[in-house]
Amino acid sequence: MHPSDDPYVTIAAWLKHAEEHELNDPNAMTLATSTKDGIPSARMVLLKGFDANGFVFFTNLGSRKASELQENPRCALLLHWKSSRRQVRVEGDVTRVADDEADAYFATRARDSQVGAWASRQSEPMTGRAELEQRIAHTVARFGLSTIPRPPFWSGFRVAPRAIELWEDRPFRLHMRYRYERDGDGWKHAELFP
């Protein structure tokens, strides 16, 4: 691998390869957040888009991750494709996506996922599975066959990278690593020791 001046060129190629070869969720990524006091947490989310403005994922705004991002709008992402032996690390600043972008994405979701977004009180305790099933039934009855709008408590976040690292496996743990750091409107990059 030889780095492009733009890390998004390599990321797009790697993601396309993953979409063709990974068995499950080639767009799965680890999202690491922390509270304002620096207490970290990490979980898997799905990358739903990326461009020069950053990496986008969606969630319930009442979730732990959303609360932490609102307290401390910085995070790290990790895309790891084990079968391709590649990974992308991202460190950046977080902002909410515009309502029209969240609406547009929500409209593309499967209807059951739309119902689930309304029914789940993500990250809150529940009395048992029956409570969730009742909330699902209530949501189905509420919307019937009509279009399901995006809940006001559900949106997306964009991670604008300050730094990106591309990693590719090599024999004897002599891996290829390139780190990009934001430099004005472009990037500066360097190859790193493995």
Tens digit of pLDDT for each residue in 88-102? 999 999 999 999 999
Q: Could you tell me the domains of the chain?
A: 7-98+152-191 (2.30.110.10)
Q: Given the residues 74, 111, 162, 173, select the one marked as catalytic.
A: 173
pLDDT by residue (tens digit) across 136-146?
A: 999 999 999 99
Q: What percent of the chain has pLDDT over 90?
A: 94
CB proximity list for 121: less than 8 A, separation 6 or greater: 60, 62, 135
Residue bearing tokens 């909410």 = 96
Nearest to 57 by CA among 39, 41, 44: 44
Mean pLDDT of the 69-81 span: 97
Contact status, residue 52 vs residue 8, Cβ threshold 8 Å: yes
pLDDT higher than 80, residue 2: no
Q: In the prediction, which pLDDT does 5 show?
A: 85
Pairing mode, strands 74-81 and 49-51: unpaired
Residue 109 is a catalytic residue: no
